[in-house]
Amino acid sequence: MPFPTGIRALLALAVAGLAALASFLLNGDAQASLVVLVCGVAAVLLALGNRDAVAAPSEPAAPQRDGPPLAEAIEAIAEPVLVIAANRVRSANRAARALLGQHILGEDVRLAIRHPAAAERLLNPEEGTPGAPIHLVGLGTREQRWEMRVRDVENQRIVHLSDRTGSYAAERMRVDFVANASHELRTPLASLLGYVETLREDAGDDAPTRNRFLKIMHDEARRMQRLIEDLISLSRIEAEKYRAPDQTVDLAVLIEEVRVELASEGKRAGDIVAEIAEVPPVRGDRVQLSQLLHNVIGNAMKYGRESTPVTIRLRPGNDGMVQLSVADEGDGIPATHLPRLTERFYRVDSGRSRSIGGTGLGLAIVKHVVERHRGRLDIASTVGKGTTVTILLPMQRTA
């Protein structure tokens, strides 16, 4: 292990002193001995100076920037990003060029982002809260909603656009759901309160009127009960959306059970025509699949014309699926309504739906059950001929 520099210097000086003393004792010449001592000390000092010069650190190198240039960095961002300098677009990533056009590079920012709120924020950065989002409606397409944020970086401005269309749609659905649910419950409740007040004041002693009112009150209470039960079912199905069902369900047996239950409720179960082929069981939730069948077959019976059959077909499908279809011979549904049939509380004919006891949630429940079972749902209809609901469910995989 080498000695530290200070210790080595002391040792060298001691050696030089001993050399001078030896020279004096051998030669008896004090002047020669002094010369030896001075030369030894000079050699030690020179050696130490050279060592310090070698060990001295060099001047620190200028700091270097790590990473790619800004234009390359923003290309890795999936959302639209622009770099603005002197109110012109200096760089734009692929997403920004796809949204605003390939021509935006070098353009005035007011021409690149054609929106009044965006132009005002970019041209007057001192106004408003720094970093606060600016909401842009109609950028890209009429229905799209974007959130724009602007940050200043080294005499440049970074503009980041985030697509909030899905979030807005979800919020609008939530607001509509609360409004529709409140309306659906308020209507029968107002009816109940009105009849109760009438019975208390005027019709309490009139037996025929009282009985008629009581029947209406019973029907309205049952309607509210069905609505609340459907809301609870829908909430439960959504909560289990990502948990795969783990039961083995024979759809042929379940269809027969549902047909018998509908017959016991006094519905037109005798008009059901079942064409059941031999199919393997599916992996599913028996209670939810039963609810699905009640809703689909029940709708076909409600909206099919009198004395016309409801046809249920069960057969093997493609790609390891089981195909279930339920067809009626009713009035049919116009094509403009088909994309919205599975929305909550959406009705083609509100008056008719309420008069036959519908809650407006049946097909929404069907859609969520199919999604939980990793299946597919299709609704086809021809005005004047009828409607067919087709459901594909995965077969149970054998080990």
Q: What is the structure's pLDDT at 53?
A: 46
Going from N- to C-terminal start, the domains of the chain cover 5-54, 70-163, 168-237, 243-394
- Token reading at 61: 């190198």
325 φ/ψ angles, rounded to the nearest 5 degrees: -130, 145
Spatial CB neighbours of 41, under 8 Å, sequence gap ≥ 6: 13, 16
pLDDT lower than 50: segments of the chain: 3, 35, 38, 46, 52-67
Instruction: Identify the architecture of domain 70-163 in CATH.
Output: 2-Layer Sandwich (3.30)
CA dist 343 and 368 (Å) reads 11
Whether 348 and 216 have beta carbons less than 8 Å apart is answered as no
CA 390 to chain centre: 27
This prediction's pTM: 0.59
243-394: CATH topology = Heat Shock Protein 90 (3.30.565)
- Note the pLDDT of residue 46: 47
CATH 3.40.50.150, domain 168-237, yes or no: no
| pLDDT value of position 17 | 59
Report the candidate in 381, 392, 269, 265 with the shortest Cα–Cα distance to residue 328.
381
Residue 24 is predicted with a pLDDT of 52
pLDDT at 306: 81
Four-CA torsion 34, 38, 39, 44, nearest 10 degrees: 140
